[in-house]
Structures are given as structure tokens and as C-alpha cells.
Amino acid sequence: MEKAISAEQLQDFKHDLHTDSRHDVLRRAVSKNGILAASYDLPAVANDINWTFSIDLDTGKVSNQKQSGRCWMFAALNTMRHFMKDTFRVEPGFELSQNYTFFWDKLEKSNYFYENVLKTAELPTTDRKVAWLMETPQQDGGQWDMMVGIIEKYGVVPKSAMPETYNSSSSSEFNATLNLKLRKDAVTLRELVANHASDEEIAKTKKKMLTEVYRILTYSFGEPPTSFDFEYRDKDNNYHIDQNITPKEFFNKYIGWNLDDYVSVINAPTADKPYNHLYTVEMLGSVVGGRPIRHLNVDMDTFRKIAIKQLESGESVWFGSDVGKESDRKAGIMDTRLYNPDELFDVDFSMSKAERLDYGQSLMTHAMVLTGVDLVNGEPRKWKVENSWGDKVGEKGFFVMSDEWMDEYCYQVVVNKKFLPAELQKVFETEEPQVLAPWDPMGALA
């Protein structure tokens, strides 16, 4: 077996290329337009992808996360905003403050990072866990359970009480600054442990570090309100005011969900994660002592059915997917038939969902909200998706997702556990989760 590419092999490669009479046409098309545009096949999906759904929730206007990675946060707050719209008849453009939860998430993630640094301080920096921590001390992304931890501790506020700033809407400068500080602080904390510093000295040092993080956050995002007045007019133009209300009081009064009822359900068909069992991810979280990450892995048929049940009840569904795969952002289409690179290059690119997860080809990258589904003879054909990329993409910010695309690239839904079969509800109540490695794809942050 030859290991190096030989001159004879190069001749064979060229001969293979020129046996296809279309190669010059294809070369020109691909080199001029790019691979995606040259393999784009909208007619293949045009008959099936339209904007009519048998279940179509009215959720108001879409939001815009702009140049930030807060999709998971926007999606969670959007589901709560939908509830407020239906219950209190707030205007369609009403939003909860994503900047408020962003502030607390960054503070809590900083503390979570410090605690993980201390836990791993006796390991060398070449250890995989330490290297994983230092690669990205914190980022904008997150998961549902992390959002629950923030809301349970700090509540929520309307956008008017803590509006966006430059840094919340465009977070790259902020993240670079905070990660610089966290890595520098990691050096200090590891040195304290190496020098056998007392717990009191380490706690004092960590408090100083968090004080500095709080200052950076306040200059960047503003200081979160401890109380505020909530004024609004409902759809009938009736005026309402709620004075001097705290963020936790606001959540309890205007949303009032028992967040323990909402659980994360995943579809990860890999050999290391048998279905109908619970999983968690080591070193993944934000609020120390807050709600732990817990995922129930189920087959795709169950995954679909519980999402449909929640939509049928009139409630939208938070979900996580690999949105960049086989999708057209501008048109708002997610369909596995949209591009055909296999035919373009005469190469088989197919991989199973499990193979893509195991070999790093796919993982959850983005969270959105299911707001509708098209059921034909009781079976889902396509899904309506509320994104958080503003109203200039898709259909006024909404996307359409084929059921086949959901099969291949959707990894997580969050549903009220009452929609789970009784035997799966029992798993949540009784089973201790299996701990996955920090770098497991199910630990990916949307």
C-alpha cells in the first residue's frame, strides 16, 4: 500500500477527471458561484415547502439577537413572551430583556469557571479537561437548564427595564475582554492552590475577581434593576401599570411557570447513549448550585410526538439544532434536499446522524422555537420555526423546516413533562443521570 501520493496516482486522478464530459462546465459553475450555489436545487423542495400549517400559533413579531450568540436565551424568553401575549394581551412586539439575563449569565459563568479551575488546579495544563476549560472560559451560548438556573435566581424583566447596549448586541469585544481576564485569573487561582493557600485566601481572591467581573459587566451592559415600574397597553388599548415590582415578582406574576415542569429531551442515536435514559455533562452549567443539566435521550418518533402534543395544546416549543446544515438563511428554508453536492461532485457525502455526532460533523449550534406544524393524515410534513435573526430573513423572520431535516439535524426539545409517556416521566423522577465528558456533543452550547 502506497502512503505518499505518487506521480502515477496524479495521472490517474487527471484521467478520472477528464472522463466526465461535463467537467469543464461544472468547474466553471463551482469556481464562479461556490459549492452551495452550484448545488442549490430549490425546485426539488418547492412543491412541499410552503407557509401553510395545520397548527399555526400566533406568536407575534420575531426578535433579533444581532451579533451575539444568545439564541438559546432569546428562544427561552420568546416562549415566555408568547405566554404573556396570550394571557395579558401585550402588544405583538413586546419582548423580555435579553440583556438582563445576559448580564447574570456572564457573572454566573465567570464564577462557574473559577470553581472548575479550582477543581482541576492540581492537574497539568496539558490535561484535556484543563485545556478544554481554557479554550473557551465562557461564551454567549447556553442550554435550557442554564437559563432556568438564571431565571430561578434572578427573575426576568421587560426589555424597557433593561434595554440593549452595544456590547449585548455585538458581544465579540466583550467576550475577548472577559476571557482574557478569566484566563489571567486562572493562572492566579492555580498558583494559590499550588502554594497551598488557605480556603479563606482563595475565597478572598475569588471575591475580588468577581467584583472586577461585575464592574466590567456593568460598564458593558448596564446595572440590572432591582425593581421597576411595568407600564403597557394591551391589544384593546387598555392601560396597565405595576409599580415597584422586582424581577422575581415579575416572573411569578406575569409568567408564573413551574420551571421544574419543563425538561430537556434529546435525540442522540449514538452507541454510548441508550434511549430512555438520563444524561448530564461534566463541567457544564452556569449557576453554581443551580439547576443541573439533565437530558432524556429518546428515539426520533417520541421526540416528534411530544413536540406535536405541546403545539396542539397551544404552547410553543424551544428546540436546538445544527441550523447551518442544508439550510438557506435568506429564504428561511431548512430541507435535506435543498443542496445536492453528491450529484455535483459525483461523491457520496452521506453520513448517519450518529456518525455525524461521533465524528464531529454535526452538533447543536442554534436554538429556536417551534410555533407550528403541518400534519397530513396525522403525520408531520413540515414545521414552522420562529428564529431570532430579525424579520429580514425567511418569511418575516420565520423559517420552514422539513420533517426530514428535523430527523437529521434536530437534537433537543424542551417540553412540559406532562406530555411525556408515563414511563419516561418516571425516568426523570427516579434515575441518576450518566455523566458525559465535557467535550461530548450533547454538551454543545446553542
- Active-site residue numbers? 71, 366, 387
Q: Compute the CA torsion angle 77, 82, 86, 87 (nearest 10 deg).
A: -10
Beta strands in 16-92 (DSSP E): 55-56
Q: How far apart are CA 306 and CA 398, in angstroms?
A: 22
Secondary element (H or E) of residue 222: none
Q: What is the C-alpha to C-alpha distance for residues 15 and 9, in angstroms, rounded to an integer?
A: 10
Contact between 316 and 79 (Cβ < 8 Å)? yes
Decide: helix, strand or coil at residue 205: helix
Q: At 242, list the grid cell.
A: 405595576
- Cross-strand partners of 56: 372
- Return the SS3 of 264: strand
Which residues does residue 368 pair with via DSSP β-bridges, in sequence order?
319
| CA pair distance 391, 62, nearest whole angstrom | 6
What is the pairing mode between strands 317-321 and 277-281? unpaired
What size, in residues, is the chain? 446
Rounded distance between C-alpha atoms, residue 52 and residue 123, angstroms: 56
Residue 436 gets the label, from left (phi > 0), alpha (psi -120 to 50) or beta, of beta
Query: In terms of DSSP bridges, do strands 379-386 and 327-328 run parallel, antiparallel, or are they unpaired?
Result: unpaired
Residue 216's CB: how many other CB atoms inside 10 A? 17
Report how far apart the first and last C-alpha atoms of the chain are (Å, whole number).
43
